[in-house]
Chains A and B, each alone.
Chain A
Amino acid sequence: MKKWALLASVLALGAMSSASQARDLTITSWGGSYQTAQQDIYFKPFSEKVGKPVLDESWDGGYGVLQAKVKAGAPNWDAVQVEAEELALGCDDGIFEMIDWDKMGGEDAFMPAAVSDCGVGTIVWSLALAYDGSKLSDGPKNWADFWDVKKFPGKRALRKGAKYTLEFALLADGVPADELYDVLSTPEGIDRAFAKLDELKPDLVWWESGAQPLQFLASGEVAMAASYNGRITSINKTEGKNFKIVWPGSIYAVDSWVILKDAENKELAQDFIAFASQPENMAKLPEYIAYGLTNKEASSMVPDEYKADVPTTPENLEEALSLNIDFWIDNSEALNQRFNAWLAQ
């Protein structure tokens, strides 16, 4: 009898302690050098300001991950940085909390692409062609060069998935940037993109996390890679590399902060997003990593020396194109299915 009483009290104690122990604010971002920068300029200062610990985790994306967390109830993440497609899907599906735009300083303080009911844009980033300037002195100029294995021998790395890959294939096939999504919206256009990919298939390597293309380029495993622009600039700075970015044909998109539906610290998460969106805090980012800023005032505060590497600088934008979110939320599943089947053959 005594034993049972003991067991019961242990169980009760356990239940009590887990109930009283609230989870700290948990923020999830993309890891790597980007998240290190965020820790310095957002997470730590915010934690000091509110006097509470802030936990941070990293993820590699995937709408299913967020949907499963919310569906299971009591998600263990509060604020998450998501890509534009995940923002649009989740906002439609109601898995994100609504943003209190008054807290964020009003919708007008941001560029239009950064404003949504469920998310606050935080960076503009590009997926661009990159190569090692110390190995290729006269490097590739566009995606057609990426496909030219005679002129530039060696393997190439692309981000695994249909998104971006099909766009790059069509650009390499000579489709003008302004007709790209019209072509991709037709069955013939999709066939054309896959046919172009067929040409390069034996020379392609696929990456899933943003650190991989840098690793491949550094080890000489690939001659060129599609990579996140910010990481290229960072590795040049921190490890003295001479990686080059080809801006024409790069595709840019906005990443946003969202709050998972019914997250435990949803109020604090709003405060955090507001903190991270303040111009004086956001303006510190380009010093660490070359992403464009969404807050107009923050953009204007960025010192000139960092502007050359940022996707939103007018010269870099000139021949770049914007990711078409509506196209991808409709076609993502079907095209990824086909992409996976194509990869497997």
Chain B
Amino acid sequence: MTARLGPHLKASALVLPLVLFLALFFVWPIIAMLKQSVSDPVVHNTLSQTSAIAAQWNGKAPVPAALQDALVADIRATTDRQEMGAVVRRLNSAKSGFRTLMRKTRRAIRKTDGPINLGEVDKRWNEVAWWHTIAQASSPYTDRYLLAALDYGRDKHNQIVALPEDASANRTILARTFVISLSVMLSCLAIGLPFAMVIASTSGWLRNVLLAAVLLPLWTSLLVRTTAWFIILQNNGLINSALQALGITDQPIPLIFERTGVIIAMTHVLLPFMVLPIYSVLLSMPGNLMQAASSLGAHPIVAFLKVMLPLSARGIASGSLLVFMSSIGYYITPALIGGPSDQMISSVIAFYATESANWGMAGALGLVLLSITLLLYVVYGRLSAEKKGVA
């Protein structure tokens, strides 16, 4: 028995680093992101007495005195400023104004040990709306981030409602992200497939030069390439001055801060990911297949459609998938070259993570993006599996 287990153990020991790596840098962050997008523990944990009483409150005015006393007691008991900071950030994110309200209240509470009339500290405490926000935040789990990621929210009766169009545009931006990614994928395919075929049909130094033309940009920093495109595409840049000098246009064509520019730059950046997989598949294809087809009387186009295309389908599929998946997360290129209506979902995620420290929203948007991508991947898997069956 041990003799049989030996090789298995050794083999699993060899993949152990990979498993650990995946668990640490792939599985764990995704679980953390999942948790972040539905957990909402700060108010529940820090304002614990308030949360307990708020859970029983019917939400009607006047605000019960016990609730007010509990809030004062909770604030008094919290000495950790970072902990209280998280509470304030959470509340202010749901209702603007909690920052200054809580700052004023904390100052008043710090001054005395005795009972405090919150309504006298700030008259906003007399309004039920502020207490509703605390009550809604007091459960340790929430769906508000996931709802908000899809432009929904809960009204004061706790019903799910669509957010007003001018307040949230995540669905628009998500749709745009997929449209841009798809366009980039298609234009990469339109350039990459013929180019890969040309490389595969050459040999010697010419092949090396053509390959270098694909690989060199791949080794250049993304930021450098994007900035170069900025210089080329701008109104008095290379393209527009050449067009004007040739008399093709009088006015510069708007390329910069436009969708066209974004797709051009992203296509250039991602082209190697399309060319290389197709090229590697074409390499394994016997070079005389096309000649054989034409010797049998096939028109070159028919030969291409019936021989070349089906045989290189595997390369095209993996290239397209690579390009599409990479473009979904693009951030720098649309930010530098695109206009406001070309920003993709990652810029919204970055806003929540780096600007407003709202990790729940960032996690929820990431989760939505991940789910849609996985769904597309499954659809793609189905389609390509069916194709294989037919072939």
B89, B167, B173, B343: the one within 8 Å of A338 (CB)? B167
Residues of B within 8 A of A219 (CB): 234-236
Instruction: With CB as the reference atom, state the residue of chain A lying closest to B163.
Output: A341
Q: Is B120 an interface residue (CB 8 A)?
A: no
B167 contacts A344, C-beta separation under 8 Å: no
CB < 8 Å: which of A93, A204, A220 contacts B82?
A93
Please state if B172 and A344 are interface contacts (CB–CB under 8 Å). Answer: yes
Per-position binary interface string of chain A over residues 55-99, scored 1 when its CB falls under 8 Å from any chain B CB and 0 otherwise: 000000011110110110000000000000000010011110000
Inter-chain pairs besides A94-B82, A344-B172, 18 sampled, C-beta below 8 Å: A63-B356, A64-B358, A71-B82, A92-B85, A92-B88, A92-B103, A93-B85, A205-B339, A219-B236, A261-B82, A331-B97, A333-B96, A333-B358, A335-B96, A337-B168, A340-B348, A344-B341, A345-B172
- The answer to whether residues A221 and B234 also contact, given A93-B85, A93-B86, A206-B340 and a CB cut-off of 8 A, is yes
Q: Is the CB of B355 within 8 A of A63?
A: yes
- A187 CB → nearest B CB, Å: 11
- Cα distance A178–B199 in the bound complex, in angstroms: 68
A330 near B85 (CB under 8 angstroms)?
no
List A residues at the B interface (Cβ < 8 Å): 62-65, 67-68, 70-71, 89, 92-95, 155, 194, 201, 204-206, 208, 219-221, 261, 326, 329-338, 340-345
B382 contacts A by Cβ under 8 Å: no
Cβ-based interface call for B169 (8 A): yes
Whether A92 touches B99, Cβ cut-off 8 Å, given contacts A221-B234, A341-B167, A345-B172, is yes
Q: A338 and B356 in contact (CB under 8 A), knowing A333-B93, A344-B343?
A: no
Are B85 and A94 in contact (CB-based, < 8 A)? yes
- Which A residues are in CB contact (< 8 Å) with B99? 89, 92, 329-330
Q: Which residues of A contact B339 (CB under 8 A)?
A: 205
Contact at B80–A94, with CB atoms within 8 Å? yes
Rounded to whole angstroms, the CA-CA distance of A64 and B356 in the bound complex is 5
Which residue, of B81, B235, B256, B354, has the highest number of chain A Cβ atoms within 10 A? B354
Residues on the A chain within 8 Å of B84, using CB: 93-94
B355 touches A64 (CB 8 A): yes
Given contacts A62-B354, A93-B85, contact A341 B235 (CB under 8 A): no
Docked CA distance A219–B97 (Å):
42
Q: What's the Cα separation between A3 and B352 when bound, in Å?
A: 47
Instruction: Tell me how far the C-beta of A191 lies from the nearest C-beta in chain B, rounded to whole angstroms.
Output: 9
Known: A94-B81, A220-B235. Is A336-B355 also a contact (CB below 8 A)? yes
Q: Which of B137-184 contact A (CB under 8 A)?
A: 165-169, 172-173, 176
Question: What are 15 sample pairs from A and B whose C-beta atoms fall under 8 A apart?
Answer: A62-B354, A62-B355, A63-B357, A64-B354, A92-B88, A94-B82, A208-B335, A220-B236, A221-B235, A330-B99, A333-B96, A338-B167, A340-B351, A341-B168, A343-B341
Query: Considering the chains assembled together, what is the distance between the CA atoms of A62 and B256 in angstroms?
Result: 26
Q: Which residues of A contact B80 (CB under 8 A)?
A: 94
Contacts of B89 in A (CB 8 A): 93
- A93-B86, A334-B96 are contacts. A204–B356 as well, Cβ < 8 Å? no
Report, nearest first, the 6 A-B pairs whose CB atoms are least far apart: A94-B81, A93-B85, A62-B354, A64-B357, A344-B169, A341-B169
Q: Are A345 and B96 in contact (CB under 8 A)?
A: no
> How many Å from the CB of B219 to the closest CB on chain A?
25
Give Cα A293–Cα B176 distance, bound, in whole angstroms: 45
Query: A96: nearest residue on chain B (CB-CB)?
Result: B81
User: A201 to chain B: which residues have CB within 8 Å?
Assistant: 340
Q: Is B45 engaged at the interface, CB distance under 8 Å to the other chain? A: no
User: In the complex where A64-B355, A64-B357, A343-B343 touch, is A331 in contact with B169 (Cβ < 8 A)?
Assistant: no
State the CA gap A94–B166 with chains docked (Å): 34
Q: Which residue of A lies closest to B93 (CB)?
A: A333
Complex Cα spacing A70 to B84, Å: 15
Are A95 and B167 interface neighbours, CB within 8 A?
A: no
A330 touches B356 (CB 8 A): no
B61-100 interface bits toward A, Cβ cutoff 8 Å, 1 = contact, 0 = none? 0000000000000000000111011101100110011111
B166: contacting residue among A68, A155, A338, CB under 8 A? A338
Q: Which of B340-370 contact A (CB under 8 A)?
A: 340-341, 343, 348, 351-358
* A-chain residues with CB within 8 Å of residue B166 when the two chains form the complex: 194, 338, 341-342, 345
What is the bound-complex CA distance between A205 and B93, given in angstroms? 28
Determine the distance from Cα of A89 to Cα of B358 in the docked complex, in whole angstroms: 13
In the assembled complex, the CB of A210 is this many whole angstroms from the nearest CB of chain B, namely 14
Q: Kindly state whether residue B324 has any CB partner on chain A within 8 Å.
A: no
Bound together, the chains give a CA A92 to CA B348 distance in angstroms of 25
- With an 8 A cutoff between CB atoms, is B257 at the interface? yes
A206 to B165, CA, bound (A): 22
Q: Do residues A329 and B100 form an inter-chain contact, with CB atoms below 8 A? A: yes
- CB of A68 within 8 A of CB of B96, answer no
CB neighbours (8 Å) of B236 from chain A are: 219-220
- Nearest CB of A to B183, in Å: 18
Q: Which residue of B lies closest to A326 (CB)?
A: B100
* B82 and A95 within 8 A (CB): yes
What residues of chain B lie closer than 8 Å to A95, measured between beta carbons? Answer: 82, 85
CA distance A65 to B353 in the complex (A): 8
> Nearest-CB distance from B81 to chain A (Å)?
3
Give the CA-CA distance A338 to B167 in the complex, in Å.
5
Within the assembled complex, what's the spacing in Å between the Cα atoms of A65 and B359?
11
Q: Is the CB of B81 within 8 A of A93?
A: yes
Q: Which residue of chain B has its CB nearest to the CB of A91?
A: B81
- Cβ 8 A contact of B98, one of A89, A93, A94, A330: A330
A333 B103 Cβ-Cβ under 8 A:
no
Q: Which of A331, A338, A344 touches B340 (beta carbons < 8 Å)?
A: A344
